């Protein structure tokens, strides 16, 4: 348990054992609503009535498969909307600074709308600006795809003209719905990546991705249902998580792929099932949540389950992973505690403990009173008589409120909390990972001072103040 401190005497902070909650404050760092909207399966709003009323000819299908050239290589793409929406593989454009698409003999610089990852969902969505009435292909109904079905592969292998794609014939050998792929045999080469795999009516059944290692002649295409969901994810504003972190569930195409909540204290009850979207790293069932926040706000997220292990990932508006935590051992909670540095939409992934795990869970969101990351270095002014350095922060509290202060530091810090009248509420030396609980004596603004014990103390620290009601039940800081 966290030791409790009461007024009126300032208490010297006792030392506490670090728990998994205190480790949360070290996060890992890594990596528009569209004008296009899907209608019934296999069609797009901006396809012409003529295109929907009859299957295209082979020549028309070839015209809808485009050559893509980047500063890193080349590949193929498929126009699926007559106003210039192109689907290709993520690996075709990965790392490219410029993407040039050859369409009807013209070279057009493409804009990247959304991109997945070759190790997750290998798709990318491009837009050709200021284009109208382009040839396009419909997306097939996934229910019409069968084993042994004849297909054609259309794309641009090495040496082919950017204005004349190659066409090869093949047969679907297997349909792997859980992994979102179609296996087929056809003589397709690396330059065909991103090209179309079409049925007898030249409807897209998949986007060619490559070959299966160790097999002879077996090719892989991203299934049309994944293509449809990827476009729908962009339309719903989920450009980053879908394809880079999560493979969407087929069942989610007719409903929102994520649930939104407010950045205030609240609770969501979820249920992870085998048919849900999957975390790319290991195939575990995953639910997606979003919330809007302003730069400078703080958030604490807690996921708890008695039926499955808990994992949480927080993704920023720029698509980069901000924080990650997982339950360990008998502790069934994952907790994220973070100060947000960007304004915009954040994404939360609630992930089961493993591929075979499923079950109900609770997801709680709340706003900490204070979360700050700082450093004592040569630029920090001394503020103690012995020359020790310190930094100070302000937070607002109310009379009678019980709070918990958590510290995670590269050095042994010395902490002082002063109330609105300037009186000391708490003062003392702490361990590098430590915590203390105390009651606030009055309404108003408090001052927190974080300093070094010795004049030579330097390094980074994270300090957090939480309403004690928001502490995880199984992650209490225990007294040493």
Model pLDDT for residues 421-443, shown as the tens digit of each residue: 999 999 999 999 888 899 999 99
Q: What pLDDT, on a 0 to 100 scale, did the predictor assign at position 207?
A: 96
Select the more confidently predicted residue: 180 or 6: 180
84 and 180 part of one domain: yes
Chain-wide mean pLDDT for the chain?
A: 83
Instruction: Give, in degrees to the nearest 5, the angle at Cα 201 between 147 and 112.
Output: 90
pTM comes to 0.76
Torsion, CA 341, CA 363, CA 233, CA 296, rounded to 10? -10
Q: Which domain holds residue 277?
A: 253-366
Burial class of 65 by CB neighbour count within 10 A (0 to 12, 13 to 18, 19+): buried
Per-residue CA distances from 369 to 91, 149, 372, 401, 414 (Å): 43, 60, 10, 11, 20
pLDDT digit string, tens, across residues 81-92: 999 999 999 999
Among 179, 206, 235, identify where a domain stops.
Answer: 235
pLDDT tens, 197-216? 999 999 999 999 988 776 66
Answer whether residue 89 is part of any domain. Answer: yes
Q: What is the CATH number of the domain that holds 455?
A: 2.60.120.380
Residues 337 and 423 occupy one common structural domain: no
Q: What is the domain-level CATH number for residue 210? A: 2.40.10.120
Same domain, 74 and 211: yes
Segment 266-312, tens digit of pLDDT: 889 999 998 888 898 888 999 999 999 999 999 999 999 988 889 99
- Sheet arrangement for strand 333-339: 266-272, 359-366, 298-304, 333-339
- Distance CA(371)–CA(406), nearest Å, equals 9
My answer on whether 283 and 257 are in the same domain is yes
Q: Tokens representing 31?
A: 């990596």
Residues 363-381 have pLDDT tens digits of: 999 899 999 999 999 899 8
Using 50, 70 and 90 to split pLDDT, how confident is the model at 360?
A: very high
Identify the domain boundary among 209, 235, 261: 235
For residue 270, give Cα distances in angstroms to 125, 219, 290. Answer: 30, 37, 14
- Claim to verify: residue 105 and residue 54 sit in the same structural domain: yes
User: Does some domain include residue 444?
Assistant: yes
Please state, in angstroms and rounded to a whole number, the distance separating the CA atoms of residues 183 and 455: 66
Number of domains into which the chain is organized? 3
Candidates 228, 219, 179, 171; CA nearest to 195 is 219
Task: Please check whether residue 138 lies inside any domain of the structure.
Answer: yes
Residue 477 in this model has a pLDDT that exceeds 60: no
Phi, psi at 33, each rounded to 5°: -50, 130
Measured on CA atoms in the order 170, 189, 51, 43, is the torsion positive or negative? positive
Is the peptide bond prior to 8 cis by the omega test (within 30 degrees of 0)? yes
Do 291 and 382 lie in one domain? The reply is no
pLDDT at 182: 92
Let me know whether 422 and 451 are in one domain. Answer: yes
For the cut 50, the answer to whether the pLDDT of residue 31 exceeds it is no
Chosen domain end from 349, 366, 383: 366
Average the pLDDT over each of 145-149, 248-252, 454-458 and give the range with the smallest value: 248-252
pLDDT value of position 331: 66
């Amino acid at each position: 348990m966290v030791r409790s401190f009461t007024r009126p005497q300032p208490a010297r902070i006792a030392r506490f054992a670090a728990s998994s909650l205190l480790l949360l404050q070290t996060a890992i760092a890594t990596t528009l609503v569209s004008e296009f909207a899907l209608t019934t399966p296999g069609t797009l709003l901006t396809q012409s009535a003529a295109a929907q009323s009859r299957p295209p000819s082979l020549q028309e299908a070839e015209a809808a498969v485009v050559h893509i050239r980047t500063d890193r290589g080349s590949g193929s793409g498929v126009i699926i909307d007559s106003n210039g929406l192109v689907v290709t593989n993520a690996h075709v454009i990965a790392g490219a600074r410029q993407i040039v698409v050859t369409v009807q003999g013209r070279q057009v610089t493409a804009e990247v709308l959304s991109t997945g990852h070759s190790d997750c969902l290998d798709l990318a969505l491009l837009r050709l600006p200021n284009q109208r009435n382009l040839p396009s292909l419909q997306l097939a109904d996934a229910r019409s795809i069968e084993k042994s079905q004849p297909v054609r592969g259309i794309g641009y292998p090495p040496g082919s003209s950017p204005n004349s794609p190659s066409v090869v014939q093949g047969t679907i050998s297997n349909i792997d719905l859980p992994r979102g792929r179609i296996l087929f045999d056809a003589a397709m080469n690396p330059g065909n990546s991103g090209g179309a795999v079409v049925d007898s009516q030249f409807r897209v059944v998949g986007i060619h991705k490559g070959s299966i290692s160790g097999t002879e002649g077996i090719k892989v295409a991203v299934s049309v249902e994944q293509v449809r969901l990827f476009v729908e994810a962009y339309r719903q504003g989920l450009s980053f998580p879908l394809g880079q972190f999560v493979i969407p569930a087929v069942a989610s195409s007719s409903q929102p792929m994520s649930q939104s909540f407010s950045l205030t204290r609240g609770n969501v009850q979820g249920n992870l099932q085998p048919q849900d979207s999957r975390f790319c790293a290991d195939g575990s069932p995953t639910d997606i949540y979003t919330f809007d926040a302003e730069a400078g706000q703080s958030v604490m997220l807690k996921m708890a389950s008695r039926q499955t292990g808990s994992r949480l990932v927080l993704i920023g508006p720029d698509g980069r992973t901000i924080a990650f935590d997982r339950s360990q051992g008998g502790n069934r909670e994952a907790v994220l505690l973070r100060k947000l540095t960007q304004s915009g939409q954040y994404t939360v992934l609630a992930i089961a403990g493993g591929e075979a795990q499923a079950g109900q869970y609770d997801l709680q969101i709340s706003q900490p009173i204070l979360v700050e990351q700082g450093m004592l270095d040569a630029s920090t002014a001394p503020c103690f008589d012995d020359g020790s350095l310190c930094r100070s922060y302000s937070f607002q509290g109310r009379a009678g409120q019980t709070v918990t202060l958590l510290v995670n530091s590269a050095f042994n810090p010395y902490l002082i909390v002063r109330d609105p009248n300037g009186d000391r509420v708490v003062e003392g030396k702490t361990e590098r990972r430590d915590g203390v609980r105390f009651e606030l004596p009055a309404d108003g603004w408090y001052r927190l001072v974080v300093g070094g014990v010795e004049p030579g103390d330097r390094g980074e620290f994270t300090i957090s103040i939480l309403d004690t009601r928001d502490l995880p039940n199984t992650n209490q800081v225990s007294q040493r």
